[in-house]
Amino acid sequence: MSIDTNLLGKGFKRLSFLVVLLIVSPLTLNIGFKALNAYSEESLWIAYGIIGIAMLLIISTIIVGFKTFKTLLDALFNSTN
C-alpha cells in the first residue's frame, strides 16, 4: 500500500484553500450582518449583497471541504475511483 504523492500534494493545496475559505466566509457573513445596522434604507441592498456573497462562500466551503477530504483519502488509501 503506497501513498500517491502527486494526489497528496493536490490534497494539501486544496486543504490550504479550504483553510482560507474557513476564515473568509464567516468574516464576510459577520460584515454583512453589521452592515445591516450601519446602512440606511436606501443603501440596504449593499448589506444584502454582502450576505448573499457570504452564503455562496459558505456553500462553496462545504463543497470544497468534502472534495478535499475525498482527495486526501484517495491519496492515502490508493483508491483509483
Domain boundaries defined on the chain: 5-77
Cell numbers 452592515 correspond to: 35
Provide the whole-model pTM: 0.85
How far is the C-alpha of 73 from the C-alpha of 4, rounded, in Å?
10
pLDDT at 81 (0 to 100): 58
Tens of pLDDT, residues 1-45: 678 889 999 999 999 999 999 999 999 999 999 999 988 888 899
The answer to whether 21 touches 60, Cβ cutoff 8 Å, is: yes
Identity at 69, one-letter amino acid code: F
Angle subtended by helix axes 44-77 and 5-38, to nearest 10: 160
The answer to whether 4 touches 80, Cβ cutoff 8 Å, is: no
- Give the closest residue to 14 by CA, choosing from 57, 60, 67, 54: 67
